[in-house]
Amino acid sequence: MPRYGMVIDLDRCMGCRACMEACKVENNTPMAILWMYVFRFEDGEYPNTHIWFMPRPCMHCDNAPCVKVCPVGARFKREDGLVLTDYDRCIGCRFCEVACPYGVNYFNWKDPKKNYYLDWDDEDLNRVTNGAVPPYKNPDLERRYSEERAGGGGQLRTTAGGGHYKGVIEKCTFCVHLVERGRYPACVDNCPVRALLFGDLDDPESEVSKRLKKKPHFRLLEEYGTEPRVYYVGGHPPGAETHQLEEVIARV
Amino acid sequence: MTTQIEKLPYGIGRLTAGWSLLVGLLLVFISLGAYAYYRQFTEGEVVTGLRNIGTMGGATWGLYVAFVIYFVGVSFAGITVAALIRLLNLSHLRPVSRMAELLTIISLILAAFSILADLGQPLRGIVNLLRYARPQSPFFGTFTLVISGYLFASLVYFYLAGRRDAALMAQYETPFRWFYRLWAAGYQDTPAERERHRRTSFWLAIAILPLLVTAHSTLGFVFGLQIGRPAWFSALQAPAFVIMAGVSGVGLLIIIAAVLRRILNEREHLSVAVFQWLGRFLMVLILAYLYFMIVELLTSTYTGHHHEVRLTQAMLWGEYAWIYWPSVTSLLIPVVLLIRQALTHQWRIGLLVASGVLVNLAAVGKRYLIVVPSQTQGSLLPYGSGSYVPTWVEYSIVLGLFALGALLYALFMKLFPIMPIPERGGEH
Amino acid sequence: MLMRRGKTLAMLISGFSLMVVSYFFLAAPWGFPPSSVVYSNPRVVLVTPTLISLGEYSFLAWPLRVLEILTWPPVIFVLGVMMVFLSAVVYELLPEKRSYDARLPQQAGLKQTQTESQVRGPGGTS
């Protein structure tokens, strides 16, 4: 059984947010829902400031607070480490969201079909796209991926992609539909500077293990004991003085 | 027929103009709430002020959850009063026992409704909770113990305690005679039966008391076990929930008892002594809660961790100060009023009712402050602060729930004696 | 034959055992930390779906249908809680013995309804 994890090299990240875009396209997430988010931070006071970027996917914690609190087991942890949401079982209580220290859960506040950037039923749009499949029809995302019980048996569960129903929680899946076919998550694949790496943490030959060996690493909010599976190398964790750039402008 | 209705105790069956007006008004509010819920159900929770924590800068639990806690909290009153009567032999409180139990039952029903109002998939919620509920989730206790166990236990207690009056009511020629007979289930009021009831209710009270502590604690654990939000992770959360439940429950009971005393003109049975007991009880509970509040404030500020400090600042003199300080004041004024009355031994029902109203406002405020600021001001990653403003949908649904509770109460009052019928009540 | 006390006791015991069984043996196990799907599902994901589909229309399917309730542990837990508290009703409503000596009308405050309630009351004559 592999032990999937992600390594994010903060020395390399330049805040282009291509990963956010790739994630949205791959997983069909509706507007304002950012499974992958890249913080653009400013540390310190002018003129002694430092600007840096920090991608924030779901941490796929080993001691996941969201899995513990889910009243119906819609949020679960797979043995390979992926923390997934069964959107067919979710009742929309949003307990996982308040339990998560990282803020990675997104609720479908309204019907996702009405919340896309483009109206895919629009005639003009269809003329331009020549009737190409609108993103929410991506057939990969409708398939069932995770086994209901460890070791097989039972039904497979609906986990992949976003924008399925209103009133359920969805979040980063590490692109389970791609990982199951031996591919990388969309954000990793689309990073132009290879700041994001994905692989088996148990395999000493994998890219992630090698990068972790080469550089000192930290994990976000490690002190809270959530045991995240996302490792950051280079750079430092955000502190009390760290602000988002957007917020800095707002404060002027 | 009408002559019979005239003789019924506590205005049962007499649909006065005032009562009808009240019911009509409540129905208006209920329909408003139902309409709001219809909008939420069809359009999704986008019609509420709730939004995602983090990049969306909102609170994902808001008014609904605050009122789930409030309603469950209010249910404290009934069983506690019952337990005080049975275990501590406080027979002064006997006249308010039924109204307190009814308060428990109705408020738990309202709590269940507000949970449903909060769920994004309410229909799925009903099925999946019964099918998949996991003991590891703090919600398991809320669903199994609070909503079903606690409610069911209260119903059993309520039913058994009402048999005697049902038997008395069955003596009258009323259209609901079958109902009273069914309720009485052959009760004869023999000494043997009384003894048996005394024994049953004693054991029931003993069994429900731990359930009461567990139920309110479970709700506290929903918050107290979460490290992800500053100011939630605290061992004090569960006990503080139990105490605050008592404060709001007893406070509301005082209000209801005083209103009924006025409406039914029952100055003898609902004597000042009853209120005196409730007032003392309320005083002790508020003092205990204030102690908890101070301990909590000290714990969160002393360490000076920046997350906690930011949150405390928002509460003490930031965005939430306008709720925090009125809530604290609404606890302090009743304490002063109650202590003064306890010292001078002069109890005034008006002042007690004022205390009841104030502590209930404080209870709502404090619950709001537990739920919301830890989400908007409490991200551990530097997302920046968020905001949450409830919309008319949320206000309407909560108002509708209150109206529903009041309606159930008003209907029950016209069907069944709200206070135990005194010993000679059956004779005319 | 079980008398009133016996029935009450039986209900208490079965109620508590239902709770224990569903909590510890049927519902999803606690995980410290939850590291697998096992901790997010009721323990019994019965093989009955396949069995039932085989014998959908035969009478053999019915016992399996009954077994299906095992996949609803919270229901069992709630039923257990309810049974425990219902035992109080049983204790109070069931008659002591099969005789009416214990509630002679002269002791009662409600003489006039005595006969009626005996006929009407669900627990009156059982």
Instruction: List the pLDDT tens digit at each of the 252 positions of chain A.
Output: 889 999 999 999 999 999 999 999 899 898 889 999 999 999 888 788 889 999 999 999 999 999 999 999 999 998 888 999 999 899 999 999 999 999 999 999 999 888 888 777 788 888 887 777 666 677 788 777 766 554 444 567 888 888 888 999 999 999 999 998 889 999 999 999 999 999 999 999 999 999 999 999 999 999 999 999 999 998 899 988 888 888 766 554
CB atoms within 10 A of CB B89: 8
- Residue B11 is predicted with a pLDDT of 77
Nearest beta carbon to residue A109 from set B46, B54, B55: B46
Residues of C in contact with A146 (CB under 8 A): 37
Nearest beta carbon to residue B152 from set C81, C103, C112: C81
- Residue A135 is predicted with a pLDDT of 67
Phi, psi of A165 (to 5 degrees): -130, 160
Determine the residue type at A152.
G
User: DSSP secondary structure string, B368-394?
Assistant: HHHHSHHHHS--SSS---------HHH
- Which A residues 133-192 touch B at CB under 8 Å? 165-169
Residues of B in contact with A240 (CB under 8 A): 306
Q: Split chain C (126 residues) into runs of 10 and give each run's mean pLDDT.
A: 81 93 88 85 61 52 64 88 91 69 45 42 38
- Return the residue in C81, C96, C106 with the most chain B beta carbons within 10 A, the one to mutate for interface testing: C81
Phi, psi of B194 (to 5 degrees): -60, -45
Choose among A96, A200, A73: nearest CA to B222: A96
- B5, pLDDT greater than 80: no
- Return the residue in C117, C119, C125 with the most chain B beta carbons within 10 A, the one to mutate for interface testing: C117
The answer to whether the CB of C31 falls within 8 A of the CB of C38 is yes
- Residue A28 is predicted with a pLDDT of 87
> Is B137 in contact with A68 (Cβ distance < 8 A)?
yes
> Is C112 in contact with B134 (Cβ distance < 8 A)?
no
Residues B217-231: what's their mean pLDDT? 90
- Residue A123 is predicted with a pLDDT of 83
Which of the other chains make 3 or more beta carbon contacts under 8 angstroms with chain A? B, C
> Is C37 in contact with A76 (Cβ distance < 8 A)?
yes
Choose among A175, A162, A174: nearest CA to A112: A162
The answer to whether the CB of B26 falls within 8 A of the CB of B421 is no
- Return the residue in A109, A113, A158, A166 with the most chain B beta carbons within 10 A, the one to mutate for interface testing: A109
Residues of C in contact with A64 (CB under 8 A): 33-34
Q: Give the dihedral of Cα atoms A81, A83, A87, A92; nearest 10 deg.
A: 160
Residues B302-322: what's their mean pLDDT? 89
Q: Which two tokens stand for residue B126?
A: 């009903």
- Checking phi first, is residue A152 left (phi over 0); if not, alpha (psi -120 to 50) or beta? left
- Return the residue in C103, C115, C125 with the most chain B beta carbons within 10 A, the one to mutate for interface testing: C103
- Min CA distance, A70 vs chain B (Å)? 6
Percent of chain B with pLDDT over 90: 51
Handedness of CA A166, A171, A173, A175 (dihedral sign): positive
Q: Which two tokens stand for residue C80?
A: 């257990």
Residues of A in contact with C36 (CB under 8 A): 77-79, 150
> Is A78 in contact with C36 (Cβ distance < 8 A)?
yes
Distance CA B281, CA B283 (A): 5
- Min CA distance, B46 vs chain A (Å)? 5
CB atoms within 10 A of CB B158: 19
The answer to whether the CB of B359 falls within 8 A of the CB of B283 is no
Lowest mean pLDDT among B79-93, B253-267, B274-288: B79-93
- Min CA distance, C12 vs chain A (Å)? 27
The answer to whether the CB of C74 falls within 8 A of the CB of C22 is yes
Phi, psi of C86 (to 5 degrees): -70, -25
- Residue C124 is predicted with a pLDDT of 37
Determine the residue type at A124.
D
Determine the residue type at A36.
M
Cβ-Cβ pairs closer than 8 A, B with C, add up to 126
Of these ranges, A183-192, B74-83, B260-269, the one predicted with the greatest mean pLDDT is: A183-192
Determine the residue type at B414.
K
Distance CA B179, CA B84 (A): 29
In sequence order, the β-bridge partners of residue B390 are none
Residues of C in contact with B196 (CB under 8 A): 91-92
Task: Please state whether the peptide bond connecting residue B135 to the residue before it is cis, i.e. omega within 30 degrees of 0.
Answer: no
The answer to whether the CB of A64 falls within 8 A of the CB of A77 is yes
Nearest chain A residue (CA) to B126: A91
Distance in Å from the first CA to the final CA of chain C: 13
- Return the residue in B65, B115, B121, B223 with the most chain A beta carbons within 10 A, the one to mutate for interface testing: B121
Nearest beta carbon to residue C41 from set A73, A78, A227: A73
- Residue A249 is predicted with a pLDDT of 62
Of the CA atoms within 13 Å of residue B293, those in its CB half-sphere come to 23
Distance CA B307, CA B378 (A): 7
> Is B130 in contact with C75 (Cβ distance < 8 A)?
yes
- Residue B269 is predicted with a pLDDT of 77
Strands A4-9 and A230-233: parallel
The answer to whether the CB of C32 falls within 8 A of the CB of A146 is no
Tens digit of each residue's pLDDT (9 = 90 or more) over B19-39: 999 999 999 999 999 999 999
Nearest beta carbon to residue B148 from set C81, C88, C89: C81
Handedness of CA A56, B381, B365, B129 (dihedral sign): positive
- Which A residues 60-99 touch B at CB under 8 Å? 65, 68-74, 89-95, 97-99
- Min CA distance, B41 vs chain A (Å)? 9
- Min CA distance, B25 vs chain C (Å)? 36
- Return the residue in A58, A70, A94 with the most chain B beta carbons within 10 A, the one to mutate for interface testing: A94
Q: Provide residues of C within 8 Å CB-CB of chain A.
A: 28, 31, 33-42, 45, 47
The answer to whether the CB of A19 falls within 8 A of the CB of A55 is yes
ipTM attached to this prediction? 0.89
**Residue of B313 and B34 predicted with greater confidence:** B34
Distance CA B100, CA B230 (A): 36
Distance CA A142, CA A138 (A): 7
Burial status of residue A153 (CB atoms within 10 A of its CB: 0-12, 13-18, 19 or more): exposed
> Is A91 in contact with B375 (Cβ distance < 8 A)?
no
> Is A77 in contact with C35 (Cβ distance < 8 A)?
yes
> Is A168 in contact with B140 (Cβ distance < 8 A)?
no
**Could you say which DSSP state residue C36 is in?**
S
- Which C residues 80-119 touch B at CB under 8 Å? 81-82, 84-86, 88-89, 91-93, 96, 102-105, 107-110, 112-114, 116-118
Which of the other chains make 3 or more beta carbon contacts under 8 angstroms with chain B? A, C
> Is A111 in contact with B380 (Cβ distance < 8 A)?
no
Residues of A in contact with B52 (CB under 8 A): 33, 97, 103, 105-107, 109
Distance CA B83, CA B208 (A): 8
- Min CA distance, C74 vs chain A (Å)? 10
Nearest beta carbon to residue C102 from set B149, B170, B192: B192
Residues of C in contact with A63 (CB under 8 A): 33
Residue A7, classed as helix, strand or coil, is strand
Residues B95-110: what's their mean pLDDT? 92
Choose among C73, A68, A84: nearest CA to B129: C73
> Is A75 in contact with C36 (Cβ distance < 8 A)?
no
The b-or-e profile of A17-50 (16+ CB within 10 A means b, else e) is bbbbebbbebbbbbeebbbbbbbbbbbeeeeeee
> Is B131 in contact with C74 (Cβ distance < 8 A)?
yes
Residue A50, classed as helix, strand or coil, is strand
- Residue B248 is predicted with a pLDDT of 94
Q: Which two tokens stand for residue A8?
A: 């994010």
Task: Based on DSSP, count helices (H) and strands (E) in chain A, helices before strands.
Answer: 8, 13
Tens digit of each residue's pLDDT (9 = 90 or more) over B372-407: 999 999 889 999 888 999 999 999 999 999 999 999
Residues B323-345: what's their mean pLDDT? 94
Cβ-Cβ pairs closer than 8 A, A with B, add up to 161
Of these ranges, B3-17, B124-138, B329-343, the one predicted with the greatest mean pLDDT is: B329-343
Residue A243, classed as helix, strand or coil, is strand
